[in-house]
A and B are shown apart, each in its own frame.
Chain A
Amino acid sequence: MRYIKLPSENFETFFNSLKEWGKVYGPVKKGSIYSFQEVDEVAELALDYTRTILPPKKFFVRPRDTMFRLKDGRWENGVEGEKFVLFGLHSCDIHGLKILDRVYLNEPVDPYYKARRDAALIVGISCMPDEYCFCKSLGTHFAMDGFDLFLHELPDGWLVRIGSVRGHEIAWENEELFEDVTDEDLKHFKEFEDRRANAFQKEIPQEGLADMLDLAYNSPVWKDYAEKCLACGNCNMVCPTCRCYEVCDRWVDAYSSVRERRYDSCFMESHGLVAGGHNFRPTRLDRFRHRYYCKSYFDPSAGFNCVGCGRCDEFCPAGIEHVKVLEEVRGSLR
């Protein structure tokens, strides 16, 4: 992997050069929260953000997404692939996209997702964990691929890792902005990573997690938490790896309509409902437990469907903590 250095004084020029690729979206502060929004100037960016409410998934599978339009009795497909830049993704969110790729890019390929994925230039950025982060224990705290460029904070600029052919092209086109990486830069990079590694306050013990869940299906801990859980679906909405959607038709006027999909939540009672009226998960207990099995149990060979971003914890009205639930379930087996 090629490493180059972007000195602080060139950051703004570099950022502006990305606009040639397409619209640039980055983290901005809105009240007490962060959100990926279109950004015109560097000053609008909140580069020290913790996590956005909605993960970058929203650019590929939109919260509300038009699939087809019915016009004059004919369906028009809504696939679009306008180029854009996602600037400032954290490593966990890059891993989140890789998990979505497995779902949406494997056969049958989702054409909406693919068109937008191909059109996106991804620029990662380093971060410091807060009290909700547990990516390190899941191995998602560092991205080796899944980005075009990745910026690591240095005292006097950014160490840039190049992760794709496109990333190389951008580096070549803007060669005058970059410098070679010195030993001192590498030292600073290592120091930052060490400091970061020691800053995590939470971890999920991965070892035997799937086996543990195998044995713990009837643990009373699930029941206790199902009493607390509001089944409001907030955790699903903000999760970078939740991938269920609901398809609905909406009338635009008397004779035209759109077929839309929107994020769905496995906490809704209709989520497990199938034809004939059978419901696979009729109670809140079933639905609460299901989320944990979906994230940490099904298909363990494919890795976990959780990247430790901490969104579900931060935005749970009932203050339910993902790691704590799993630890209590494990404890109930002892």
Chain B
Amino acid sequence: MMDKLKLGVFELTDCGGCALNLLFLYERLFDLLEFYEIEEFHMATSLSGEGHYDVALVTGTVSTRRDLDLLKEARNRSEYLIALGTCATHGSVQGSVELPIREKLKAVYGDESNPMHALDPKPVVEYVAVDFALPGCPYDKREAFQALIDIAKGIEPVKKDYPVCIECKLNEYECVLVKKGLPCLGPITLGGCNAVCVRSGLGCIGCRGPLPGEVNPASEYEILKSKGYDDEYIVRKFKTFARWEP
């Protein structure tokens, strides 16, 4: 039996959901442990690896000096680094506020001083090269499972290349954009979530970021406009999760 791969899970600034989501794999976690040993994961082990990681998973945005140092450390010590979750891949909600950090501190605390060394929140992909980016707020844990097993077997994980609409139709859900006029970003948002929001009768909020490549937000904008949504609403909706692209 070959040596197990060393896995590190690093959390930058985020809600904690993406790291926790890995534990929600439940019995599938034991399948991962057939190939991996967890060297660093503050929710799952008291170990704190000092050495080399075969695979590093990084969640959250770089929002403080501490985050940036941790990210560089993780990158320098790992073979394969996955930006996990929309914070890490696109900046997510905290990345969507478009003000310089000093102005934000002033607006919230009435004081420009910065004792925590806060930075303008940006995704992992803005600072280091990543080997794989898996977005989602949170990401689909099954997708993370597939990617980790692929890597363990020596297969490069396959990037999704289709919008949310594809999986929505595969599941034969009622189209909330066409049939209910809900503001659904499914046509321009990267799929992989199995259209879970539409399943509940909600419009896609774009949490997995824009479909890469020749995506057509201009047409989506016109469609939402024709359904009576105003400019500001649409633009804010577009920017909620993704100011940056990996």
Which residues of A does B touch, CB under 8 Å? Answer: 30-33, 35, 53-54, 58, 63-64, 227-234, 237-238, 248, 250-251, 253-255, 262-263, 265, 268-270, 283-284, 314-319
Q: Which residues of chain B have C-beta atoms less than 8 A from A234's C-beta?
A: 165, 169, 175, 187
CA distance A35 to B146 in the complex (A): 31
Q: Which residues of chain A have C-beta atoms less than 8 A from B150's C-beta?
A: 251
B219 at interface by CB-CB < 8 Å: yes
B114 at interface by CB-CB < 8 Å: no
Residues A318 and B219 in contact, CB atoms below 8 Å apart: yes
Q: Which residues of chain A have C-beta atoms less than 8 A from B28's C-beta?
A: 253
Residues B220 and A230 in contact, CB atoms below 8 Å apart: yes
Residues A232 and B31 in contact, CB atoms below 8 Å apart: no
B76 at interface by CB-CB < 8 Å: no
Q: Which residues of chain A have C-beta atoms less than 8 A from B161's C-beta?
A: 268-270
CA distance A332 to B32 in the complex (A): 59
Contacts A64-B170, A262-B170 hold; do A283 and B214 have CB atoms under 8 A apart? yes
CA distance A317 to B227 in the complex (A): 11
B103 at interface by CB-CB < 8 Å: no
How many Cβ-Cβ contacts under 8 Å join chain A to chain B? 107
Contacts A227-B219, A318-B219 hold; do A238 and B169 have CB atoms under 8 A apart? yes
Residues A32 and B174 in contact, CB atoms below 8 Å apart: yes
Query: Residue-by-residue, is B197-222 near A (CB-CB < 8 Å gives 1, otherwise 0)?
Result: 00000000000000001111011101
CA distance A10 to B223 in the complex (A): 48
CA distance A63 to B169 in the complex (A): 9
Give chain B nearest CB distance to A223 CB in angstroms. 13
Interface size on B, residues (CB 8 A): 38
Q: Which residues of chain B have C-beta atoms less than 8 A from A318's C-beta?
A: 219, 223
B166: contacting residue among A229, A233, A253, A269, CB under 8 A: A233
CA distance A262 to B192 in the complex (A): 13
B149 at interface by CB-CB < 8 Å: yes
Closest B residue to A262 by CB, please name it: B170
Q: Which residues of chain A have C-beta atoms less than 8 A from B177's C-beta?
A: 317
B245 at interface by CB-CB < 8 Å: no
B50 at interface by CB-CB < 8 Å: no
CA distance A263 to B216 in the complex (A): 22
B73 at interface by CB-CB < 8 Å: no
Residues A54 and B172 in contact, CB atoms below 8 Å apart: yes
Q: Which residues of chain A have C-beta atoms less than 8 A from B214's C-beta?
A: 231, 269, 283-284
Closest A residue to B177 by CB, please name it: A317
Q: Which residues of chain B have C-beta atoms less than 8 A from A254's C-beta?
A: 30-32, 34-35, 149
B162 at interface by CB-CB < 8 Å: yes
Residues A237 and B169 in contact, CB atoms below 8 Å apart: yes
Residues A35 and B219 in contact, CB atoms below 8 Å apart: no
Closest B residue to A35 by CB, please name it: B172
Q: Which residues of chain B have C-beta atoms less than 8 A from A54's C-beta?
A: 169, 172
Residues A230 and B145 in contact, CB atoms below 8 Å apart: no
CA distance A251 to B146 in the complex (A): 6
Closest B residue to A248 by CB, please name it: B158
